Amino acid sequence: MAAPVSVQFAGTTDYATGLNKSLISSSIFNNEFYTYTVTRSRETGVKIGTFTLVSGATASTCPIGRVVHLTGRKLYANINPMNTFVVGSPLQTPKFLVSIYDPISFLNGFIDPTSTTFASYDQNLPNFFDLGTQGSGVLPPLGGKGGGTSTFKLADPFPSALLGSSNTLNVGDATMGQLKYNDQDGYITLLSSAIKSNSIILITLLLTNSSTTTTYRSYLSNQATGTVRINWIGNGTGSSGQGYLNYLILNA
């Protein structure tokens, strides 16, 4: 079996081997998404290549962060006629172009692969998987990887101020942090714009200062967009305990 080809997306030669590769949009691309047609002049018999914007391409159907697949079709400036361009679009001269397919909008057309609007994107999966940036086929985005909302943002490098039961803590758009509490049984209301009604929220509870209370458990309730209640319960001995609680908000 032949060794796998290393595709660097550096030029025409590399794109010729990139049939199973994907790109991700770094900005809205409806004004850089073209349909290509060829007609022949009745007077001269010369072929005329015309570009128009893809029908149905809008800011909403061609958003930032969309993963698209190369189809293998290509246009070459010195082979395919390129005469008429879209007024106001970045493409105004003959260039090497590649065809892409959008598995979310089902649109397809040609783009300029050297445009900063697109970047290489590889999930090591075949291009016939319906990936895009949503659905069950997408790998979890972590640590700021594009295409998802689960980027990690620390609320504060230190624990919150000491909180008692029924307190509210607003952490802005943070997705992770640490709370400091001082109650045997109680709850706090955590506010964050990162919280969705279907967010997965992980919590860990650590008791650090208590005379008799040794067993604690914690759970979530009242979760809605922007808010969740974090509850903790002791073993019922009546002693007040002080501890720390870590939280992590995950969105698909």
pLDDT digits (tens, 9 = 90+) for 70-81: 998 999 998 999
Query: Which tokens in the block code for residue 2?
Result: 């032949």
At 141, the pLDDT band (50, 70, 90 cuts) reads very low
pLDDT at residue 87 tops 80:
yes
**pLDDT at residue 147, rounded to an integer:** 42
**pLDDT at residue 151, rounded to an integer:** 58
**pLDDT at residue 119, rounded to an integer:** 87
- Closest by CA to 151, choosing from 184, 125, 120, 173, is 173
What is the chain's length?
Answer: 252
d(CA 107, CA 83): 24
Average pLDDT over residues 208-234: 75
Of 93 and 13, more confident:
93
Mean pLDDT, the chain, integer: 77
Q: Say which residues have a Cβ less than 8 Å from residue 177's Cβ, sequence separation at least 6.
A: 154, 155, 156, 160, 171, 246, 247
CB burial class (10 A; 0-12, 13-18, 19+) of residue 143? exposed
Query: Which tokens in the block code for residue 212?
Result: 């008799």
Q: Per-residue b/e over 9-36, b at no fewer than 16 CB within 10 Å?
A: beeeeebeebeebbbbbeebbbbbbbbb
Sheet holding 227-233, edge to edge: 167-170, 186-191, 227-233, 217-224
Of 126 and 183, more confident:
183
- Closest by CA to 154, choosing from 188, 189, 180, 178, is 178
Average pLDDT over residues 159-164: 70
At 4, the pLDDT band (50, 70, 90 cuts) reads very low
Average pLDDT over residues 193-204: 89
Average pLDDT over residues 168-186: 80
pLDDT at residue 145 tops 50:
no
pTM of the model: 0.46
**pLDDT at residue 38, rounded to an integer:** 94
**pLDDT at residue 129, rounded to an integer:** 53
- What's the CATH class of domain 162-250? mainly beta
d(CA 147, CA 67): 8
Average pLDDT over residues 210-218: 57
Q: Domain boundaries in the chain?
A: 12-121, 162-250
Q: Do 174 and 154 contact (CB within 8 A), yes or no?
A: yes
